[in-house]
Structure 1
Amino acid sequence: MPSQHNLWGVAASIAIAVLASYVALDLALRVRGTYGRLRLAWWAAGSVVMGTGIWAMHFIGMLAFQLPIRLGFTGGLTLLSWAAAVAASGVALGIASRLAVGPRLLLVGALAMGLGICGMHYIGMAALDMAPGIVWDPVKVVLSALIAVAASAVALLMVMLLAHRESRRRTRSQIFASLVMGAAICGMHYTGMAAAQFPAGTVCLSADQLSGPNMLAIVLVTTGIMLLGTLFASILDARLQSTARRLAHSLQQANTRLETANAELQKQAFADALTGLPNRLLFEDRLDQALARLDRANHGHTHERLAVFFVDLDGFKPINDSFGHAAGDFILRKAARRLERAARLSDTVARVGGDEFLVLLEHVHDIADCTLVADRILKALTRPFVVFDKQLQIACSIGIVLYPDQGERDKLVAHADAAMYVAKRAGGGGYALFESHMGADVSNQLALQSDLRQAIDAGQFELYYQPKIDGRRDQISGVEALIRWNHPERGVLSPALFIGLAERFGLIGRLGSWVIDEACRQIAAWSREGLRMRVAVNLSVHQLRENGLAERVEAALRRHKVDASQLLCEITESVAMEDLKATQVAFSGLARIGVYLAIDDFGTGYSSLSYLRQLPAQQLKIDRSFVNDLEVKVDARAVVEAVIRLAHALGLRVVAEGVETAGQRDILLELDCDELQGYFYARPMQAHVLLEWSRGVKPEHAVDFAPSTIEG
């Protein structure tokens, strides 16, 4: 019996085959990209949709098949053929969900999927209840089965290949793969249809069941909507997952950056920047923890002890001054490593000052354990250091305090410090054990330290001002601010008694900030009284190395509405050259906001002349040691003359401090020194005394203020 196909139906079946293939590939990728219950949900839904798509292509192709007689399909076998397509799709998606598929699994999967498609086709053909039955061409039947298996293998391979493609290139490849798969599925179907022969006189017993153009339209529209809807959902899910992954990745990156920043901040907060050792803050925390553990272990009886070593390097400063900051840093880093090796693994080694270190020893039985470690440290640090191909020798002095045998719980570091000074006074290169008589000076220092912490809040500090005299005009042109402590019990204390203490116990930064703010406040107060003064303040090495120095100075100037040119910041030459890079950064920031800059105690450092041009300073102050010897030593006069000439050649003004006699004044004026300062002219005085001087209430024969300082 002759047969033919409706071309529109064939075209519709091919379109459904290609669309179903595209959706099938997308579903396979979606199943691979999900996990847990979501993967199971996509697998189940995907199997139904993919199977329905493949079955729809087959059923539309069957509906497009035409014989001279009317055809129809039984409902039961048609439903069974749909189930076979869904089962085959389930196998395909199950294999596609695996991250790795070997050749054996690929072959098994292709056979199972191919047989499922064949089952779908031939069960669907059986739904044509023909009498007599369909005559099959066995060669074409086998060929159609081979095509089904091959198409299944190609589909699985395509999924594997697409899974490793970049998302930008995946769409183009997926379209090509769906065209190949669609052609293969159609080829299988129409090869199977060609294998069916219908004898003359055959009638269709199921002609009154599933058939007709309405059925074709229903299947076509329903399947198309289902496939397109599923594709849309898959694409939407993919984008949502991609967005979620990007957000998760961004959050992970942000978290990583935050953790890195926190680790860096913790490192900066608890570690010494130069050596990497714990700093004082971390050392004190570990000491507190060690004391707590010791209390728990002893239970009122002394079974274990701990010890604190205070280690100070002997001979470090001359090397640092002679060979420069780089050599000094090198020795400090090497000394830190040697200390770590000399100490035990359970010990803590910390750097707490320029050349000062602390060592915490736990699980100590007696003083012999301490002396054993101290001897190792002495031997380690007395070995020569090779710096710039030169062997340099240093030593160290060690103070030892054993707890609970010696020293008080809250004074262990101070007691170790006191013992260290005993070792240093004995000539250095050794150690001393703390004894009770050493605690007297320690108690005094601790009491002063405790008072110092409260002094700023209590308003006990005051700035005194010493005039600076213009050498050519013999008039006051500015002042230097010098801090004094009005101690409620000890009276007025000079900075020599508390600045070192403030540096040692980490209070110098707060004290230095107060000096800058108070100087700006006083400049503003004088200005309101008609006195315009330039005030010089001293910066410590700690302020110089702190971040944001220029910003804090600028904030103080703005707060008190003071012109930046009225503030002059001084830093000693030795401090400036100790860390030239930090000095350059600080000076550049201060110069940017218009603050005047000066190098103090000039002439006491080494190699400073070669670096002088790198600093944006406007003034040099000659160290008082040269001024003291001007009248008695020819070499002192020669140094001062050379410094003045050098400074003038570089466009810098020169100030001589410590001028105490008329002879010193005359020599300095003869050498063309720009400004002079010292007891010969005036001692440091309180702000209100200086204001009265500007109004004429002054000592006999005292110099007057420059006209530029008196505001009309």
Structure 2
Amino acid sequence: MNTMCAAPARLLIVDDDLPTRMVLRRLMARQGYVVLEAGNGREALEQVRRSRPDLVLMDVMMPELDGYAACAQLRRDDGDDSLPIIMLTGADELESIERAFNAGATDFITKPINWALLSERVRYALRTGQLNRELRRSRMRELSVRRIAGLGDWEWSLADGVLSWSAEFESITGLPQQRVNGIEQLLTQVHPDDQRRLQTALQLASELGARLDLEFRLLHAEREHVLRLVGERGSQGAEAAVVFGVFQDVTQTRRAEAMVDFLALHDDVTGLGNRRLFLNQLAQLLGQGQSPPVLLVGAIDVSRFARYNDSLGRLAADKLLAAFGQRLSDFLHNLGGSLLARIDGDEFGVCFAIDQIDTAGQRFGQLLHCLQAPFRVEGQELFLSCSAGFSLFPAHGAEPEALLLKAQEAQRLARKQSRPFLGFEPDAEGTQRQLQEFELERDLYQALERGQFFLVYQPQMDFARNRITGAEALLRWRHPQRGVIPPIRFIGLLEETGLINEVGAWVLQQTCEQVAQWQRGGLEVRVGVNLSPRQFLQRDLCAQVQQALEAAAVDPNLIELEITESLAMQEVGHTIGLLQQLRALGLKIAIDDFGVGHSSLEYLLRFPIDVIKVDRAFVSHITSRVGDRAIVRSITVLAQSLGLSVIAEGVETQRQCDFLEALGVAQVQGYLIGKPMPAEQFEQLARSFKRGAAS
């Protein structure tokens, strides 16, 4: 075990300005780095060749050879992309940034230098460079091992037909070379199903000079080896009458692949096929012959199986599930040509042929009847109840996936109606969807009263302060049976039913109370609340907001109301007047999803707003699309000229974050900083947040 400490990293500082080099040298030396210096690009090239530094800090503007040219030359000379090069530039325009990256820079930082940020960038770049070097060495070792592991060479003299093998052949296959020193002798050792294929490939190689590359099974002493044979005919002189090649024993690889294929298509609890295998086999059945038989495709769901997991334990519950599958298998075995699979956690798929459509329900009922007898598991007798549904080929379609989905739709409808099973009806799918939407709407009316709504908060980071300074409050619904319902499923229903006004008032009230609680605890963060179109058009909106502020005793400056760009433009006169009233209460106003609506800059200048939120559509491709960068930069310049703050939404990568910071965006929001989270988790993040440590 190597107990020696790693040598300190060596940094090369390249800058023609001596005071800047001195400051950088002192800062980096205090952090334990060995510092090298160069006064221009040419000196830098020589230093890199001579000293092999671990990182280069390079100024852009230098005499003789500027930073761009020096960086590009380093990449050409060295050919090692793992050497980190951080460019120091006094220009923060997009063109300079792109030029630095095009020259081969790893990162950049603008002057005047943020020393804390530079230290973090250096530490990150060194770590990344080391990982890249280790990855390269690992790849080289892997290639070397692959070249030498289990390989041998062989030759075939076309003049006399003699086959020659290297010593590895006998150690791999157990066959002495003299047993396979000719094509005929080799073929006698090859699996009968592979002989013709190998003979044809050898003939093409000898007569036409075709490249040989195939696998075949070699049999010896009741053992089977899979060999890969690769070869090609020589091209010059005497070599033109010889086929040269290599061979490799791929037996274990093919066995492992077969096992992987099996596991990928089978369930490890019941040993049955899974959904993917079921659909593949069903497709084969449907494609057999000119007139395939009428097929019944069924979906059988074990009702409330989770209770057995809780009461019996996972192992016993798995045995119960396996016994259920075995009983189905025993019944279907007598039918011939049937299919059975575990297509989901406690759901099974079946398929079998029937004589005529009229008997489908009767035959399916007979199958389900066999499941009514008790199951014995670990000395206990257990009864399982099921809900089931079926579809028919060709009456209900000819696609495997569609037939199974229709069977599942029928099964879910049977469960809703407390029926043992149902056959699919052409309108069953639409009926089921309508039933679900009706039930969802019915439950929505009681959700607020029953305390099923809750709020989560997505953090916003301020670049200037390097901490969490704000959040967006987002509504969630925890349904007692369906779990957490996605907002896309119920926000529209809230609008359509008019419930959004009551729920929106609750959201505002809860947000004010939460912000006030944080404020009393010493945590001041600005929290945004989305206003829906219906809320925004309420006559008493201002009174409602004022009441929420006063009831919570919260600082109004910590509450931000967000309206969409499109909403603001619906009735411009009403919007301006209402926003002026809200700002008079001390609130902040934000325009959400900016850039994707249809606002006029003339009106935008008249809106009394504080924040512009750049839509995620421009952020997602900001690192690759020049147009998106230009739009974000334009929005930022416009906002700065108006004294407004800019928040970019949908930030998911560090590279997006770096670009946005370089473009002048003030704050960012997205999964890179944090996903929407409960209030307690948000508070912990806001108090302990360190840039670069967010998840």
Greater relative contact order: 1 or 2 (C-alpha under 8 angstroms, separation 6 or more)?
A: 1
| TM-score, normalised via structure 2 length | 0.38
| TM-score, normalised via structure 1 length | 0.37
Whichever structure has more strand as a proportion of its residues is 2
